[in-house]
Structure 1
Amino acid sequence: MLSEVIATRYVTPLREGGSLPGIVEADDLGTYVMKFTGAGQGRKTLVAEVVCGELGRRLGLRVPELVRMQLDPVIGMGEPDQEVQELLKASGGLNLGMDYLPGSLGFDPLAFEVSAREAGRVVWFDALINNVDRSWRNPNLLVWHGELWLIDHGATMIWQHNWPTAEKSAAKPYDASDHVLASFGPDIEAAAAEFAPLVTEELLTEVTAAVPDEWLADEPGFDSPDELRAAYVRALLGRAPVIGERISVGEPTKDGPSRVPGWLATELPRRAVK
């Protein structure tokens, strides 16, 4: 089970995310990026964050620690932004916190070098969870203390939005042509050999157990949170042994990746991240 903390101060919104996450301080003296149950994407994005974040961590990838975060909407009374106030009011109770990495930099493939092994591990993992949000347009990667960290897994496991077609959806291949790490020659074969045997029913059962019952309740077609957890397990368990063979890396789309500032691209060498 995830650790639980209580939000004590709302610091500032993060405007980069469509769900308007915010930086929040908690009673354990930690600082977190808070994802809200009242955001427009709903609780399924939080389920995806927990399942994929905890799975990635257990596979040895760097994912900021996740916590259950209790929110009393009263802490937002002094917030001048009406949109933020409404979000806080709609999110009383249990939300999700992600450890804040102070001083981290957003990853850009023109500024940082990634090994083929590390690129392959991230691409394989994203293929497993069907992550459609790790492209050069929106990398959702941070560089912190010279290491690559994976964040924002809300746009994954799209089959959870239509469970009657989940089995068919989970069997689909993964096009990594626009993946932010595609240009680093990802060693997908090595990643599959390393990771696929680790994705067991036992591991997935442990990971899905970290999702709070209240985020799984009342899902149409399921009688209990545990029954829904089992559906996540089946989808990922069936995908893990074969997804490595179903990953394609072709030419990226024509508009090309975003450029780093000229001074960074021309005056500084690429920095390697592990």
Structure 2
Amino acid sequence: MSSDYLLQVNDLKKSYTTDNLILKGISLDIKPGEFVGVLGLSGAGKSTFLRCINRLIEPTSGNILFKKSFITDKDTDNEVMDVCKLNNKELRLLRRKIGMIFQQFNIVKRLTVIDNVLSGSLGYQNAFKSTFRIFSVDDKKKALANLERVGLLSQAYKRADALSGGQQQRVAIARTLMQNPKVILADEPVASLDPKLSREVLGILKKVCKEDGISALVSLHTLELTKIYSDRIIGFQGGYITFDGSADQLNDDEIEKVYTKTGD
């Protein structure tokens, strides 16, 4: 595995039944700090691919490789590990470093904004503190700092259900930052937002990723937004990658390949 890459995916396949292959041999490399847009029709395999990376969905075959330093933060840990072969303890350590942002925000609306953000640090707490939601002063300071980064410091002690959809998604970003992630997987994070709020949320997400050197894989349904915010674009069609390049390289012919259904 090259030192230039944070994650390496080799021949990744996923099927739910023997005759229904959703991912048909996906291979790609992700560099540190890359903001990657993932395009494709509904059912093309985008969400399945993102969820396989942290094994929210179990891959059928293939490899998802990273260096041990990914979870230890020690540059000398160059041992290559395969996500698909991790035991439960190793997988928990990995997931601390992989943030996940969903279309429906996945926040607890009856809790305050800051309590939702603090939930992002639960992976670093022991069982007692996690169960009773006991957070340190430093945790609370960090949560407030992350809320400031997404422009919501003044909303910290409001109930989450008092916020707009765009604000709730910003809370989700702040919560993810509590994990100190090296990768963020965002599955249609702005699909339920209007164009103005979509740009606002994507702008904040890209800004914090660039500031912290976080790699991001962001599934988007809008071609325009994908081209504006992505350093690199990956196009999915029928379980395959049909495009991998920059926005400038995504011409009409390549767009047609991504958005035109073809038979197997």
What is the TM-score with the length of structure 2 in the denominator?
0.28
Q: Which has the higher strand share?
A: 2
Taking CA–CA contacts closer than 8 Å with sequence separation of 6 or more, which of the two structures ends up with the larger relative contact order?
2
Q: Which has the higher helix share?
A: 2
What is the TM-score with the length of structure 1 in the denominator?
0.27
